[in-house]
Amino acid sequence: MVAMTDSIDIPVPDIFDFDRNLVFLNRNEDECMHEVIERSLIKPIEVGSMRSLVKISAPHDTALRLTILAGSMPESKDDQELLITYIKNLFDLNTDLQPFYKMAKQDPLLKDLVEEYDGLRIVQIPDLFEALCWGVFGQQINLRFAYQLKRQFVEKYGESLVYQGKTYWFFPHYEKIASLSVEELSEIKMTRRKSEYMIGIAQLMTSGELSKDKLLQLGDPAIIEKDLVTIRGIGPWTANYLLMRCLGFTSAFPIDDVG
């Protein structure tokens, strides 16, 4: 029997600093997929049959606490596990950072960096379609505009809920984008080419040819990257970005780029 509770606690690893990760999540005011309020993350999350506005906080530093602000708690055991998996992925809780920290603390260049950002994880975009879209949005335009594109996209094709008079948006489903024409999608001031990329990607996901599970089953990040690059609209940069920000290959992050 599943006990009906108001909140779910998820234990966090030793090397984890919730506030530092919140700072990262709060880095851009144009972000439309979540907000940070008073040491908590407010985020609409859709997993399985659950679609709710979730508050994530850390009342004590050994666990994250999930509270449902609007919608409902996951009703089935499956949905509850999907939610927990999503949050674990979001904060990259499954990665063991001990080996990296041990190595970094012996490196004169990395030492200061690791201490300054101790407990900061590579925050993920757990949803593959969302990560892919964000990669495409950001290609060859300034970030400010990329955030604008995402917002217009989300508010035009996504669904929403209202909480305390404020509207929160879920990321659009790929099935919906797959059915759009280039002309329709281009209305939000994306280039035709970006529209083509996104519709093509949405179609691949709708047909089931492309999925996060399938990519992860390939195992080796180099092989995954090769697979991703065959998709029109995904080049080396976006493929690498996906490995790092969605597929959890945080060890592959470019140390050259640390600055």
Partner DNA sequence: TGCCAGGAAGCCG
Partner DNA sequence: CGGCTTCATGGC
Report the residue number, 97 or 234, with the smaller CB distance to DNA: 234
Catalytic residue (one of 213, 220, 256, 257): 257
Taking the CA of residue 155 as centre, how many other CA atoms within 13 Å lie in the half-sphere pointing to its CB?
12
List the structure tokens of 181: 């024409």
Report the residue number, 12 or 123, with the smaller CB distance to DNA: 123
Cα(142)–Cα(122) distance, integer angstroms: 22
Cα(65)–Cα(25) distance, integer angstroms: 17
Minimum separation from the CB atom of position 198 to DNA (A): 12
Regarding 48 and contact with DNA (CB under 7 A), the answer is: no
Cα(126)–Cα(86) distance, integer angstroms: 6
Q: Which of 157, 186, 181 is nearest to 169 (CA)?
A: 157
Report the residue number, 8 or 125, with the smaller CB distance to DNA: 125
146-185 residues in contact with DNA (CB under 7 A) are: 146, 148
Minimum separation from the CB atom of position 245 to DNA (A): 6
Regarding 250 and contact with DNA (CB under 7 A), the answer is: no
Q: How far is CA 188 from the centre of its chain?
A: 22
Among 231, 250, 252, 253, binds DNA (CB under 7 A): 231
Cα(131)–Cα(114) distance, integer angstroms: 26
257 in active site: yes
174 contact partners, CB below 8 Å, separation of at least 6: 129, 201, 202, 205, 206
The piece of 56-64, 74-82, 232-240, 249-257 that touches DNA (CB under 7 A) is 232-240
Regarding 221 and contact with DNA (CB under 7 A), the answer is: no
Regarding 145 and contact with DNA (CB under 7 A), the answer is: yes
- Catalytic sites, residue numbers: 257
Residue ranges binding DNA (CB under 7 A): 134-135, 138-146, 148, 189, 191-193, 229, 231-239, 241, 245
